[in-house]
A and B are shown apart, each in its own frame.
Chain A
Amino acid sequence: MSDDRLRSARDALRHQREWFARISAEAAAGTPVALVNADVPHELFRALDVPYVVNQWWSSVAASRGAAQSGLDAVARAGLPRDSEPYNLIGMGNVLNGDSDVVPGWGSLPRPALVATDYTGDVTRKLFEAWRDVVGVELFAFESVAQTAPVDEWWRFIADDWERVVGSRRIDLMVAELHELRAVLERVSGRSYDEDRLREMLVLGNEQAEWNRRTRDLIASARPLPVRVNDTIPAVMLPQWHRGTEWARDAARALHDEIAERVADGYAVVPDERARLMWIGRGLWFDMDFYRHFEEHYGAVFVWSMYLSIAADGYARHGGEPLRALASRFIGFHERLYVAPEASDWYVAQARQHGVDGVVHLVSDDPRGGWAITAALERAGIPVFVLRADNADESTYDAEEVRAQVAEWLRMLRPTGPT
């Protein structure tokens, strides 16, 4: 068993540090910077040269470097609830604290000139309105509308037939909003919108998605598993925040090529691989050793997480008018990850493609579609261990107890396997 991390993951992290240092310097020199939620159309910001920081990415950095509490304290001092979606609140608190809130190794989050989100749920809306009303930052909001007519096997059709899969009415709505955002970004940046530039970015994004698809398919068919999920998560996600650039496209290709090399070399995460598992849910950030524990003690490997596979299946949009294609990329993301039947059918298909022996399903104490997803997998004959924990709150998480329960489930799963 090797401890070698992927070069691609290290390179992506180095690039992210250099990029953030550059954006911080630009902000200090007066360039307007935006802070955007993960599921808004970033490409339009890039097309108009408005640098942006992704809210959830910043939260992960601040949380991993001990700067979350100071941010949340600042939120509480402003009279706002610090425990309502804290993961999405950290950046606001860090900005309220100003330059004093330094994240070791990264610096401070620049005060944005603009924040953008879609209005999913009750709290995201309130949180971003607090950016406007409490912090004093311009807010641009998108509606979040529901898919009421789910499309079977969306992942097979969405890249080319996105108008049908996503729905023209929803696309019309977001395109109208994108025209409004375009005017805001033109005002903020002083640049003019160039449709050809956006079209080029969409092509680069499609190429990035295609490399991610090849990587996912490669991992799905490789025996034994050539790469850990802990490694693919940063190697996929950091380039996602730079979608539409040549660097991001090349980073996705480099990840693919590196894993292909490993497959060709017969590299194995666990040479004596005894169980292939799927991880459904957000990353267990405070116990990333969880995955390695089961590799080392049980020969069980986690072959799947949503981060690579949604990058493979969720982003490509070919043809059409650029703004319509861009809108269709972002509408309904939440449904494809969390709402049955779109999400549950996709997880079942992914489990089959990867030949998993079982699924560990992280079900948080929040209202996502846990029941329907577990039920769909079990109906498909795929054993599921439901791990009840909040990936952002370790206060009630008992690592030993959880590992013992998963181990017991593994024994039942493969009675002649791990002992």
Chain B
Amino acid sequence: MSAALRTPVIAVVGRDVPIELIEAHGAMVRRLELHPGSDVAEATQILGTGMDPAAIAVLAGVLETDAAPFDAIVLCSDSDATQRLFYGLRELARMKPERGLPPIHLVDIVHLPRASSLEYAREEVGLLAARLQAWTGRTPSAADLSRAVRERDLARLLLADMRRRVDGATFFAWRSSVDEMPAAVAVERLRAALAAEPDPLPESVPVALTGSSQYGPEVVAAIEACGARVVADDCAGGSLGLEIGAREPSLDGLSERYWRDGDSAHRGSAPERAARLAIAAERQGARAIVSYARRRDDAASWEVAAVRSATSLPVIVLHDQDYGRVDRSLLIDALGEKGGARV
């Protein structure tokens, strides 16, 4: 069945892919991921061992499963690992056509606060729109685009409200699933959830989380199983950027939104991020800050000093962690010592 007759599915990797543009083209968004424990040998050979294992896991997922259901895979430059994953997939598609990989596209959003960077980001979003039109056979009207942008902005704001009502694992589960829902459905479900009586929050040490991206609840759940409750975060895949909306619901407005939303551990300024995290942590009553980084994901290690300077809260460093894992004994000890936890 051609993409024009069914709902096209676009796989995405990273936080700089404007998913509302995909939705405006009538396509569904699927975030590529892999559950820890899968075979990563071939992906490791292709990408090398010196890379954030999350990206290796994504490639392993593409290799392990049939990628044919996707009409395209769109990646971005939100981190070195995502960009290198693009290069790896592009070369794999070129050299091994028998794999049947769908079209691979990089939307290269840049973030420096200059007019030239904004212009480049605008062109990149325009190029993505042209590719989406080719893949889906659909040209969204201005109203389609406006609706997709506004609804996605609203879904993000409702997620920010949800952040204050639930434990960390629940929030990250919402966060990852909302990206894959049509925005209107997400808004409806989030409103219903927010209207319900909130579940009581567990008695545990409130912490703020920083560091590696978290596209899913697994790591946060593991952290919370050690006696913490993640009440704030500045992680890609988490709270980061939820309150940044498009100033106008157009292609230009969308480009400008994604250009501004570059404050991740990999692309943002350490002291600026640390200052914002410290404020969020203190507002939410965190008693400690947890800096969590996967092995070979070095950006977080450059932010620890800035975080320590920005806050009087204790900083618990959980770095060099295996993909999907948390050093439980280290965290439990640190929470007991620094967070006053009874665990």
User: Which residues of A does B touch, CB under 8 Å?
Assistant: 78-81, 84-85, 119, 121-123, 125-127, 129-130, 133-134, 141, 143, 145-146, 148, 169, 172-173, 176-177, 180, 339-341, 363-372, 375
Contacts and interface: CB of A to CB of B under 8 A. Distances in A.
Contacts of A365: 48-50
B301 interface: yes
Interface stretch (B6-14, B29-37, B73-81): B73-81
Nearest to B301: A81
B46 interface: yes
A66 to B, nearest CB: 26
A122 B52 CA distance: 11
Interface string B299-340: 101111110100000000000000000000000000000000
Contacts of A146: 77, 83, 86, 106, 108
Q: Interface majority SS on B: helix, strand, loop or mixed?
A: helix
B108 A148 contact: yes
A372 B91 contact: yes
Interface stretch (B116-124, B195-203, B217-225, B250-258): B116-124
B141 interface: no
A84 B302 contact: yes
B294 interface: no
Interface stretch (B170-178, B186-194, B263-271): B263-271
Nearest to A130: B302
Interface residues of B, number: 47
B298 A339 contact: no
Interface of B: 45-51, 77, 79-81, 83-84, 86-88, 91, 94-95, 105-106, 108, 110, 112, 114-117, 119-120, 123, 265-267, 269-271, 297-299, 301-306, 308
A159 B23 CA distance: 42
A176 B308 CA distance: 36
Contact of A145 (B86, B110, B305): B110
A141 B302 contact: no
B106 A366 contact: no
Contact of A122 (B79, B115, B119, B306): B79
A79 B305 contact: yes
A173 B109 CA distance: 13
B111 to A, nearest CB: 8
Contacts of A341: 91, 94
Contact of A367 (B84, B108, B123): B84
A169 B298 contact: no
A133 B86 contact: no
